[in-house]
Amino acid sequence: MVGSRNLYELVENLRVCTSIFVGSSLPTIYYGARTHTQIKQVVKEFKRTSYCGMVKMTLLSSRDKSCIKEFDRSVWSTRNDMCRACVKPIRKGPNKENTNCKFYDNRTALNHGCMPAAFDLEDLVEIGREKEACPYYGARAMAKTAHIVFCPYNYLIDPSIRSSLSIDLTGAVVIIDEAHNIEGICRDVASVDITQLQIQNAIKELETVSQYRFANQDVEYYIDGLLNTLNSWNYWYETIFNNLRGAFGTFTNIKLQKARFQNQTPLINQQPVNNNEAVYKWQQTADFVDTLNNHNIGYVQYADFKRNAESFCRRLREDASTLYGVTQATGTLLEAMDMALGFLFREHCQYMDDFKPALVKHVAGRTSAPPANTGWRASQFNDWVSKESLTLSLICLNSGIVMRALQSARCIALASGTLTPLISLHSELETSFPHRVSPNHVIPEDRVWIGTLLGDATGDICYNATGVNSPRARQALGAAILRVCRLTPHGVLCFLPSYSLLDRLIKEWQETGLWHELNQLKNVFCERRSDRDHEETMNDFYQTVGTPKGALLFAVYRGKVSEGMDFKDQQARAVICVGVPYPNLFDTGVSAKMQYNDKYIKEKNLLTGKEWLRVQAYRALNQAVGRCVRHRGDWGAVLLVDSRYRQEYYTEHLSKWVKRFLGNNHHTYESLATSPNGLAAFMQKMKIVEEEESLKT
Ligand code: SF4
C-alpha cells in the first residue's frame, strides 16, 4: 500500500523526471518581498500580465497572519502553540483526520481550483473563512504544485524557515524584491541572541516532558541530551554572571590562560554602562570557542546537540501534542542555537572569525532615574541596579555564509530601486552577479526638483553627530522645515537620523513656538515605534494629507516609513532628508563588522570598514529619497539638508537619478525662496502644470 503522501511524492518525482526527459521542466519561481503589503502590490501587477491564469500561484504567510481559528490568549501564548496543539488527530477510526481544528480538517477545500488566478493575503483569508478551510495549510499545500510562490523574503533566506516550510530552492528561480538590505538580512539570519532566561525556561519545559512516558525510547534519549546541554549552558551563564574569568574554564596551562586573556577586562561587572547595558566583547572568537569547549557545550558536543535539537524540533512540528507543555519559544531557541553554532563550528571552526561573540548585561534600576550614559562606577551602579539579565549575542559578520545556501537555485535575481551603491554587493554576499541592470528613472526631468540646503546667509551648517548639538543648527532646521511646508502643497516627509533627535527637536520647538507654527501650516505626525501605533499614525496621515492643509510626517532613516512605503502624488510632494545617516559606531555589530572588513579586505575582496560604513549610510539615504515621485505622472522635490553635500565625496553614492537631477543645485535658506532654481520656483511651476493637466483631463 502506498500512503497518500508517498503517492503524492511518487507522482511529483515522476512529473519531474518525465519533464527532464522531455526537456520541459519548469522551475518554480519564488518571489520574496519584505512585507505582505508589498506582496499585495506585486500580485496586483502579476494580475495585469498575460501570465495570470496561465500559471498557478500561491502565497505563504505565518499563522499569525492567516490563522482563522479563534485565539484565546488566556490559554495559548502564541498562535503557533495553539495550532500545533490543535492539529494532532484526536480520533482513531474511520475518520482518522479529525483534529481539534475544523479548518485544518477541511484544509484541502482551499485549492487552485477554487482560488482566483491571482490573490493576495486578504483574499486568501477571506476565501478560507468562506470555505471554512485553513488558509495557512491550504496555501502551503498549493505551493507543492504552484508555478509561482509569493512569500516574505525571509522565508527564502532563513534556513530554519525554509526547512520548517519544506521550501527547496534547488533548481528554482528566486526573486528577492526590495533587496537593498539583503546583506544585513543575511547577517541577521545567522546571528543569534540567547538570554539566560530563555535557557532556563526551556529547561523547565523539557523537565516537564522528561517525566512523560514515550513509546519510543529515542524521544527520552534526545530530551535528556538536550537537558544536559541546556543545563551546561545555564551553568556557563551563572559562572560568567559571577565572574567572567571563571567562565574561561579550567586550563591546566596557566601560562596559556594568562597569555590569552591578559589584555581582557575579566569581569562584565567592570564594563562601562551605556544606556543600561554593559557589553563585554571577546577580542578573539577563538577565546569564546574555548570557553564553550571547556564547559562541554563546544565543538565536540555540537554534533550530538544538533541531532537532539533536530529530532526534538521535528517532533514539535509534526506531533506537538506529545510534547504538551513545550512552547514554540523553546523550539525557536533550539533552532536558532543549532543554526548559529553550526555556522560558528563549520569545517572544524575554520571560519569562526565570521562571528563576533559579545555578552550584554541589561539592567533595570531601582528608581526612575537612569544611570548616566558614561562613566558609571561599579559602586554607584550596583546600588542602582534592581534587576539584571545576561544575553549572549553571536553576531554574524559575513552575509556570504547564508547566501551560499541559496546557490542551489537556478537563478537569483535581486531587485530594488535603491541597490546603489553596488560596489560591495557581490563580495559581501560571496556571490557573482553576471547581469546587472541599472536603468534610468522613469520620471521626466522637469517634474523633479532635487537640491541641497547647505546652511544660511551666516554660513554652512553640518548635521553630523556633533553638528546637531548646536542650537543654531536645530533652529535653522526648524526654519527650513517651516519654509518647505509653506511652499509645498499637501504631503511633506522629513527624515531624521534618530528617534532621540526627533524627540529633542519636538521638545525644543514646542518651547520656541515653532512646533505650533508647523501645526498651523500642516497636520503634523511622527513615526511611531510599535507596529500598531504606526498603522494608526499612517491611517491618520493618509486621511489628512489630501486636504488643503496637507500633512507633515517626521520619520527616521531605516524606520518603517523610509523602507519600502509608497508615498505617491499628494502623499509626498517634498521629502526633506536631514544629515547623512551613518550607522551608529557604538553599536557592537557595526564596530565588529568594520574591524572584520579591515581584516579581510584583501582575502575576501571587501571594502574597508570605513567605506562599508559609508555604503550603509547611502543605502539608507537613497531609500528615504526614493519615497516620493513614484510613477511617470508623479512629481515632487527632495531637499538634502547638510553642508557636507558641497563635497563630491558626499554625493558620490547617491542614486544615479538623484545625482543627475541634483547637479550643482546647492542652496542656502534664503536662496530656496529667491533663486530661479530654488524650491519656491519649482513649486510655483508645478502648480501651473497641475492646473493645466487638470483642465486636460
Ligand atoms: S490549522 Fe489553521 S486555522 Fe487551525 S489553528 Fe492551525 S493555522 Fe489556525
* C-alpha span between 623 and 617 (Å, rounded): 10
Q: Is 139 in the pocket of ligand 1 (CB under 6 A)?
A: no
Cell digits of residue 585: 559606531
Model pLDDT, residue 256: 41
What was the pLDDT predicted at 621?
95
Return d(Cα 276, Cα 384) in angstroms, integer.
Answer: 11
| Ramachandran region, residue 203 (left: φ > 0; alpha: ψ -120 to 50; beta: rest) | alpha
Residue that terminates a domain, selected from 397, 425, 456: 397
**Residue 163 located in a structural domain:** no
Asked if residue 421 has a cis previous peptide bond (ω within 30° of 0), the answer is yes
C-alpha cell at 324: 504538551
Residue with cell 567572567: 244
Nearest CA to ligand 1 atom 6: 83
Q: Which grid coordinates belong to 464?
A: 553630523
Domain count for the chain: 3
Pocket of ligand 1 contains residue 31 by CB under 6 Å = no
Q: Whose CA is nearest to atom 1 of ligand 1?
A: 104
For the chain, give the number of residues.
697
Q: What are phi and psi of 477, to 5 degrees?
A: -65, -45
Distance CA 152, CA 679 (A): 39
In a domain, 246, yes or no: yes
Any domain includes 540: yes
**Which letter does DSSP use for residue 296 in this model?**
T
- Distances in Å between the alpha carbon of 93 and those of 7, 96, 142, 206, 680? 22, 6, 28, 32, 78
Please report, as a single letter, which amino acid is at residue 572: A
pLDDT of residue 11: 45
Q: Which pLDDT does position 384 carry in this prediction?
A: 54
CB of residue 67 inside a 6 A radius of ligand 1: yes
CA of 139 to the centre of ligand 1 (A): 12
Check pocket membership of 101 for ligand 1, CB cut-off 6 A: yes
Strand partners, 7: none
Are 397 and 592 contacting, i.e. CB atoms less than 8 angstroms apart?
yes
490 inside domain: yes
Query: Which atom from ligand 1 is nearest to the alpha carbon of 87?
Result: 1
C-beta of residue 277 within 8 angstroms of C-beta of residue 388:
no
For residues 374 and 452, membership in a common domain is answered with no
Question: Is residue 87 within 6 Å of ligand 1 at its C-beta?
Answer: yes
638 with 497, same domain: the answer is yes
- Shared domain check, 243 and 132: no
Residue 611 counted as domain residue: yes
Handedness of CA 688, 690, 693, 695 (dihedral sign): negative
Give the ligand 1 atom nearest the CA of 66. 7
Say yes or no: 684 and 609 in one domain.
yes
The secondary element (H helix, E strand) that includes residue 43 is helix 36-47
Closest approach atom of ligand 1 to CA 82: 5
89, 232: one domain: no
pLDDT computed for residue 264 by the predictor: 35
Q: Would the CB of 86 count as within 6 Å of ligand 1?
A: yes
Ligand 1 neighbourhood includes 233 CB (under 6 angstroms)? no
387 and 458: one domain? Answer: no
User: Mean pLDDT by 10-residue block, N- to C-terminus, for the chain (697 residues)?
Assistant: 44 46 71 91 93 94 94 84 80 64 92 95 96 96 95 93 91 92 92 93 92 75 93 87 45 40 43 71 89 89 93 84 83 92 91 92 62 50 63 94 90 84 82 82 86 94 94 95 96 95 95 96 92 89 95 95 86 96 92 95 92 94 88 92 96 91 94 95 94 81
Beta carbon of 138 within 6 Å of any ligand 1 atom? no
Say how many Å lie between the CA of residue 539 and the centre of ligand 1.
Answer: 30
Is the distance from the beta carbon of residue 669 to the nearest atom of ligand 1 less than 6 Å? Answer: no
Q: Is 1 exposed, middle or buried (0-12, 13-18, 19+ CB in 10 A)?
A: exposed
Comparing C-alpha atoms, which of 300, 301, 329 is closest to residue 206? 329
Task: Indicate if 391 and 451 belong to the same structural domain.
Answer: no
Q: Residue 95 Cα, ligand 1 centroid: separation in angstroms?
A: 19
Residue nearest atom 7 in ligand 1 by C-alpha distance = 67
Question: Is the minimum distance from the CB of 104 to ligand 1 under 6 angstroms?
Answer: yes
Nearest CA to ligand 1 atom 8: 67
Cα torsion 244, 248, 252, 257 to 10°: value is -80
Which residue, of 362, 397, 432, is where some domain finishes? 397
**How is residue 655 written as a grid cell?**
542614486
Q: Are residues 145 and 239 in the same domain?
A: no
Q: Is residue 548 part of a domain?
A: yes
**Which residue owns the Cα nearest ligand 1 atom 5?**
83
Nearest C-alpha neighbor of 479 from the set 447, 512, 503, 501 = 512
CA 408 / ligand 1 centre spacing (Å): 32
Q: Is residue 158 part of a domain?
A: no
The whole-angstrom separation of Cα 425 and Cα 408 is 19
Residue 553 shares a structural domain with residue 646 = yes
In a domain, 486, yes or no: yes
Q: In whole angstroms, what is the distance from residue 509 CA to residue 478 CA?
A: 8
CB proximity list for 126: less than 8 A, separation 6 or greater = none
Backbone angles phi, psi at 274, to 5 degrees: -125, 130
pLDDT of residue 410: 93
Nearest CA to ligand 1 atom 2: 134
125 pocket-lining for ligand 1 (C-beta < 6 Å): no
Q: Which of 136, 164, 165, 318 to mutate to test the pocket of ligand 1 (most atoms within 8 A of CB)?
A: 136
Are residues 474 and 600 both part of a single domain? yes
216 with 140, same domain: the answer is no
Whether residue 114 is found in the same domain as residue 252 = no
CB 597 within 8 A of CB 607: yes
Q: What is the CATH number of the domain that holds 656?
A: 3.40.50.300
Cα–Cα distance between 545 and 548 in angstroms, integer?
Answer: 8
Query: Mapping DSSP to helix (H, G, I), strand (E, B) and coil, where does residue 86 land?
Result: helix
Q: Which domain holds residue 383?
A: 192-397
What is the CA(136)–ligand 1 centre distance, in A?
Answer: 7
